[in-house]
Amino acid sequence: MSVTLSRRRFLCTAGCGALTALAPLGPLASCSASTAGPVTAQGRIAQRRPANPDDRALHAARRLTYGPAPALMAHIQEVGVDAFLEEQLHPEELDDSLVEDLLADFQTLHLSNAEILANYRKKGGVVVGELSMATLLRAVHSQRQLFEVMVDFWTNHFNIYIGDGMVRHLKTVDDREVIRAHALGRFADLLLASAKSPAMLFYLDNYLSRGTDPNENYARELLELHTVGVDGGYQESDIRPAALSLTGWTFARRTGTFQFRPRQHYTGPLQVMGWETPGHRGREAIRDGESLLDYLAHHPSTARFLARKLCVRFVSDQPPEDLVASAAQVYLDNDTAIVPVLRHIFQSDAFWASAGQKFRRPFELLAGALRVLNIQIGAGNRTRAARFLRLQLEQMGQPLFGWHAPNGYPDVAGTWLSTGGLLARWNLMQALVAARRDGSSVDLEALLPDAFANAGELVDGLAQRLLFQPLDPDDRAVLLAYLELAEDEPVPRRVLGYKLPQLVALLLNSVYFQYR
């Protein structure tokens, strides 16, 4: 029977190791190996990062996708790791009809802003719900896994809080025509599209900015978060002229379409860092902002800022400086194209030596669990499934499009390693393996090895099926202790019946699964 942990029970029962169960520490000698409870077992299992540097296929699957699954691992083994990397760098060549079928009955994903505003102005929850569920379905089921990972990367880089007024109606088009349209293209094109996005214009108030009364919110984040970075060489005095260059950039409130209004644009000369303009008038004045955005996209500080963020995403929280520098140069040498930068990172020694050095954020964890468990989301009731999954992400601190500040969800372990966060992760896995009526289902019997004669083979088979690697002997012993069976002892059907869900949850809550 599945157990949902209360905060009190978590603190009392797992005190010997819970707070550090996901940290890169050695075993905790103070915990008794004979204790068979699932919570204590969770506190003991795998308190090391599961580095597996010799398995290139597994490492590629963990970093370029939302998590390995049997079919994915079989495919990588068949075509080879290098061919898999190139496949993922060219998503347009991959058949994604399965996801298209899953999204076929969504009503709002392909609508324009005008259509959404006309038909869903009082039903913003429907728009947000469909975008959120589509995002999760794509992460779980898409063959274009690296593309979806990069969509998430740029969604956070150009973060827009979906709860901010009109954004709930405008974000769907931003997701489709800004982020997804340019996720593996040129950053210069992505930056321009973002600057003209009605969702971004509303979120950072640039739609209100006029030459006589410039709003500096977007200009500040443009410099600090979107391009050169806080240490990229800009000064406080650069923010106002940057804002002035983008005055008159707004959108029609009724239709949600971008507009440039020349009479609201500042027409005098401007200088931002090494860029300058004499100022333009009329329709030509839009060139001031476009020119500044192109300058910033090609700036060496932007190259380094983006290279570091990409290395943090795919290598480690503190990536090697030489890799950051070389990736930045590749960015500049390729006219801000992203694919060459990713290929350079994936071909680096640092990438292949970084197994187990990245901690999964909640969304990555949820998507990875749904993939490896082959859970059919919403097979019975999509609305109920969406509500359940949204609640899980909220409890773990990462609701989709729910970060209020413009800097996006952090991508370093320290943000997510907390007592409450750990408890929510444990409860997630237990909820996923439990028998529920939320519109999703998991077939635990299908996870079992084809044939197992004893407890040792059961544990080994489940580890290979869920984690795709063998367990450390100490961790293996903890799971056998939880089963209360010797390695060579047969597994009674009654024991399998009530302990299999917790055994699966224990494996998914171990660092083998929590790190990528």
CB contact at 8 A, 52 and 356: yes
Distances (CA, A) of 487 to 252, 369, 387: 69, 27, 41
Q: Is the pLDDT of residue 415 over 90?
A: yes
User: Which tens digit of pLDDT belongs to each residue from 221-266?
Assistant: 999 999 999 999 999 999 999 999 999 999 999 999 999 999 999 9
HSE toward the beta carbon, residue 469, CA cutoff 13 A: 26
Q: What average pLDDT does range 432-442 have in this prediction?
A: 69
Record the tokens describing residue 507, joined without a space.
């494996």
Q: How many C-beta neighbours within 10 Å does residue 282 have?
A: 10
**Rounded distance, CA 338 to CA 90, Å?**
12
HSE toward the beta carbon, residue 260, CA cutoff 13 A: 17
User: Which tens digit of pLDDT belongs to each residue from 13-27?
Assistant: 333 333 333 333 222
Q: How many C-beta neighbours within 10 Å does residue 356 have?
A: 20
Would you list the domain boundaries of the chain? 7-51+359-393+414-514, 300-352
**Rounded distance, CA 154 to CA 187, Å?**
10
Classify each residue of 462-489 as buried b or exposed e, where b means 16 or more C-beta atoms within 10 Å of its C-beta.
Answer: bbebbbbeebbeebbbbbbbbbebeeee
**Rounded distance, CA 74 to CA 87, Å?**
15
Q: What is the pLDDT of residue 33?
A: 34
**270-272 and 275-277: which strand pairing?**
antiparallel
User: Which tens digit of pLDDT belongs to each residue from 161-177?
Assistant: 999 999 999 999 999 99
Closest to 45 in 3D by CA, of 18, 75, 5: 18
